[in-house]
Amino acid sequence: MADISVDNATGDILTTGGDLIFTSDTSFVETMRQRIRAALLTFRGEYFLDNEDSPTVGIPYFQSLLDDKIPTIELADSIFRTALLKIDDVVGVQELTFDLDPSTRALSVVFKVNITGDGDVVEDIITF
């Protein structure tokens, strides 16, 4: 199954000569990086085909992380680590760190995961 490729910086759909670029046209590492980003950027309850009464797709930002007045690093680590390990072809988490900028209230999540294959690793930074 191939996903439509998106630009890392803008999130725009990538095209060439008017044709869509699919992740199958790129490397497996890039395909996995994009799938991981999509999973971590999806809020629980946001996916329109999910069960409305008991959603299961996405990160429980409002339900868990933002529900607590002072969320802990341990809670964030648990939620993100669990989400990463639920993604098909992710077999381990090597690194997971968080950086909160209090002045902008921007959270950066740095991850490095092992994926199936020949010891391939995907790493990226997502900022909210």
* Residue 80 in domain: yes
Give me the residues paired with residue 115 across strands: 90
Structural domain that includes position 97? 15-127
CA distance 79 to 28: 25
1 within domain boundaries: no
> What's the whole-number mean pLDDT along residues 35-64?
88
Residue 19 pLDDT > 80, yes or no?
yes
Maximum C-alpha span of the chain: 49
**Residue 50 domain flag:** yes
Q: Is the overall model pTM greater than 0.85, yes or no?
A: no
More confident position, 71 or 99 = 99
